[in-house]
Amino acid sequence: MDINSLSDKELCEIINTDKYDCELIAEADAVRRRYYGTAVYLRGLIEICNVCKNDCLYCGIRRSNGNLDRYRLSKEDILSCCEQGHKLGFRTFVLQGGEDPYYTDEVICGIVSEIKERFPDCAVTLSLGEKGRESYAAFRAAGADRYLLRHETADDAHYSRLHPAVMSLAHRKSCLFTLKELGYQVGSGFMVGSPYQTADNLVEDLRFLQELRPDMIGIGPFIPHKDTPFRDFPGGTLELTLRMVAILRLMFPTALIPSTTALGTIHPLGRELGLKAGANVVMPNLSPVRVRKLYELYDNKICTGEEAAECKGCLERRVQSAGYEIVSARGDVYGFDSKPQ
């Protein structure tokens, strides 16, 4: 099947198949093996703060959630997570957090440049939400290599049902294009099965990604959080998420696609199945255990009780059992080494 020649309607039909689609998944696995073999890249996730000025309706750390202790990691905390991670073989650190004005550009640049200085063989990925061009440029100059910012949904009307009126899809998109212009390896993505989402919306997500051409694509099922307005909505399903992973692998043969924690949360073997459907990245949690439970974007998030080494060991076994192997390289996107830097 040539996925790129399919019409919107044909894509919709694949999306709407209500089962574990063996054929599609086998095709996706073959494509992944052609480019990446059995390699699975490791990213150490450091959740730097759960303070957020935004109020996204789906998210457990939204501003209006008063039922949550808020925390911020200091530069020293973050560096010690990196140090521990580096000893464990991590060569990418992902600093993720809410949109928190406490972390000014200066603070972030200070953290990034010190990580790059102390661990020059490592890549730094930021996932800190929407910022202005100057901020993104400053982070890049300080040494940040990659940036993750999911678009969440590429349909304007759907976007406005998931977010407060002060946020807009147009702004989100413009941030993504700015990040590309600044030379970041860029990651985007969306939730599967978010409230009000239709199969047409998912096709729009795919079309937007074709336009953006991101290096990384992160997707996971929507999972309701008890302290959000979406508490009573059903979550996204395993089957649909796996189908979307497989479609993404076929459309973007060289993309870095994580098998996400959300996928592991809705099914005990969710991440193994994600890898088999074409995902080639895993992101063990490196955050200090004392704050883990506080970064609960959705209910019942896994990996909140384990130390970094345990979480990495656990994922290593899972990756192996699925028939792949963790590699300890930086894991830049395919062809990156031959691109001018």
Q: Among ligand 5AD, ligand FES, none, what does residue 223 contact (CB within 5–8 Å per kind)?
A: ligand 5AD
Least distance to ligand 5AD from the beta carbon of 261, Å? 9
Per residue in 3-18, is it b (16+ CB within 10 Å) or e — as a string? beebeeeebeebbeee
Restricted to residues 90-149, the positions that interact with ligand 5AD (CB under 6 A) are none
Binding string to ligand FES for residues 259 to 288, with x set by CB under 6 A, is what? -------------------------x----
Kindly state whether residue 303 participates in binding ligand FES, applying the rule CB under 6 A: yes
Tell me which H or E stretch contains 42.
Answer: strand 39-42
Shortest reach from residue 189's CB to ligand 5AD, in Å? 7
Q: In sequence order, which residues have a C-beta less than 8 Å from that of residue 54 and are 6 or more positions away?
A: 62, 63, 98, 99, 129, 163, 164, 167
Helix/strand/coil for 321: helix
Shortest Cβ distance from residue 315 to ligand FES (Å)? 4
Q: State the number of binding residues for ligand 5AD (CB under 6 A).
A: 12
The distance of closest approach from Cβ of residue 318 to ligand FES in the complex, given in angstroms and rounded to an integer, is: 7
Task: Compute the least distance from the CB of residue 114 to ligand FES, in Å.
Answer: 27
Q: How far is the CB of 223 from ligand 5AD (least distance, A)?
A: 4
> Cα angle at 253 between 250 and 258, to 5 degrees?
90
- Distance from CA of residue 95 to its chain's centroid? 11
Interacting partner of 225 out of ligand 5AD, ligand FES, none (Cβ under 5 to 8 A depending on kind): ligand 5AD
Q: How far is CA 119 from each of CA 85, 88, 91, 100, 209, rounded to the nearest angstrom? A: 11, 13, 8, 26, 32
Sites for ligand 5AD among residues 179-238 (CB under 6 A): 191, 220, 222-223, 225
Interacting residue with ligand 5AD among 21, 47, 145, 152 (CB under 6 A): 152
220-256 CB burial, b ≥16 within 10 A, e <16: bbbbbbebbebeebebbbbbbbbbbbbbbbbbbbbbb
* 273 contact choice in ligand FES, ligand 5AD, none (CB below 5 to 8 Å, kind-dependent): none
Q: Which residues bind ligand 5AD (CB under 6 A)?
A: 58-59, 150, 152, 191, 220, 222-223, 225, 262, 297-298
